Structure 1
Amino acid sequence: MPELLTQQEPGDLFVIRNAGNIVPAYGPEPGGVSATVEYAVAVLGVTDIIVCGHSDCGAMTAISTDTNMDYVPAVAGWLAHANAAKIVNAARTHQSAHERLEAMVRENVIAQLTNIRTHPSVALALNQGRLKLHGWAYDIETGSIDTLDGTTGRFVPLAENRQTSATPALTARAAAVLAA
């Protein structure tokens, strides 16, 4: 429950939950996730979007172990939105299946942040400095959260880096161009 994790009251967060924490890239036939993202950003004025992966994710386990999903074609099609993460993760060397899975969770967070940037409402809000993106990896066993530092591209402990976001800070020059 994201509200419990972030110590918010019910209704304080606008939450989308789905298998694999997927945010499809924007396309000609937007689905429920696309419509929800657009509504949140353009209508509600949401200022922060968090893509949160978690340890022991069943969807990421299926992807990282090349599980045959012929019997669940809709799930297989849905998880194809994580193909960029799958390819990047598969190209790396991992010491164990656990390490491969944890890396897959993080790569998927990065891939979904890339996908969400393709949404026009998100692109505009980012360009106008009205929106920050955050990538989190939640460890269910320990309760710890690592956050993606958009400047370094590394996940760092959220508890020690509360102001960190996946959206790199604008340089002074870029801010001046936007203000002009």
Structure 2
Amino acid sequence: MPEQPHSHEHDDHSDSCGCDLLHLLNGVDEFTHRVFPGNKELFHSLAHSQAPHTLFITCADSRVSPDMVTQTRPGELFVCRNIGNIVPAYGEMLGGVSAVVEFAVLALNVRQIVVCGHTDCGAMKGLAAGGAATANMPTVHAWLRNAEAARSVVQTRGLDENQIVQALVEENVRLQLTHLRTHPAVAARVAQGQLALQGWVYDIGQGKVSVLDEANGQFLTLAEARARLSKQAAG
């Protein structure tokens, strides 16, 4: 039989995958033998139960690390990640996100929910480009319909191309908070004063977070948001 042609491209890809997986396994080894022993009491306390204070809904983007950004420890955040930090309105797409919200509020009794968008969001870039950008990704295309209202709002502002994605990132956070309030569990706990909602935008390149002030629809600096919360707590 003739010798089959050898694909170096396939070998390169396989080698890359193998290196990446080895990198992950090496990381687990580092955790098991160096990190875990120094936090053994914490992990033992979490072995059979959890009581997170916050449901943190953010994008699946690899550059967004909720624990690192908030400097929280295991057990504090109940994290839900998806393309575009989207929360479908209740009844629109009952599924994973809706189940996470319901479980976090009713079973875990979280005290706040944060919806966190981020700069340079690929989902918002796809939304800005319209259907052509996701034509070969029908599932992504369908999912982004849950952010379509944000695009409609931003289109009315006459922004240039350099401003559109960031405007969509911010408007999408506003929209998903609105969707969140349609979930019965959330609506009830908010009405009882037992649950607070907050919208964030994380700036990847600057390492900063801005916080939505829903009263005026504007994003505050972290310092402004902290000062406002401190004043409310003192009052």
TM-score normalised by structure 2 residue count: 0.67
How far the C-alpha of 1:67 sits from its partner, in A, is 5.0
How far the C-alpha of 1:160 sits from its partner, in A, is 2.6
How far the C-alpha of 1:43 sits from its partner, in A, is 1.0
2:39 is aligned to none
Q: Aligned-residue CA RMSD in angstroms?
A: 1.6
How far the C-alpha of 1:152 sits from its partner, in A, is 1.3
How far the C-alpha of 1:65 sits from its partner, in A, is 2.2
1:117 is aligned to 181
> Alpha-carbon deviations, 1:6-42, whole Å to 9, x = none?
0101231000010010100010762010000000011
Compare the two structures and name the one with the higher helix fraction: 2
Higher CA-based Rg: 2
Residue 18 (str. 1) matches residue 78 (str. 2): no
Residue 76 (str. 1) matches residue 136 (str. 2): no
2:131/2:141 contact within 8 Å kept? no
> Alpha-carbon deviations, 1:48-89, whole Å to 9, x = none?
101000000000011112251221000000010001101001
CA distance in 1 between counterparts of 2:192 and 2:85 reads 26
CA distance in 2 between counterparts of 1:74 and 1:7 reads 33
Residue 32 (str. 1) matches residue 103 (str. 2): no
1:136/1:146 contact within 8 Å kept? yes
1:92 is aligned to 157
After the TM superposition, which segments of 4 or more aligned residues of structure 1 sit over 6 Å from their partners? none
SS at structure 2 position matched to 1:37: helix
Larger RCO (CA under 8 A, 6+ residues apart): 1
The change in CA–CA distance for 1:28 and 1:135 in structure 2 (over 3 A counts) is closer
2:67 is aligned to 3
How far the C-alpha of 1:164 sits from its partner, in A, is 5.3
Paired residues for 1:113-152 under 5 Å: 113-152=177-216
CA distance in 2 between counterparts of 1:163 and 1:76 reads 40
**Aligned residue-pair number:** 165
How far the C-alpha of 1:159 sits from its partner, in A, is 2.8
Identity over aligned pairs, percent = 48
Q: Unpaired runs of 5+ in structure 2?
A: 1-64
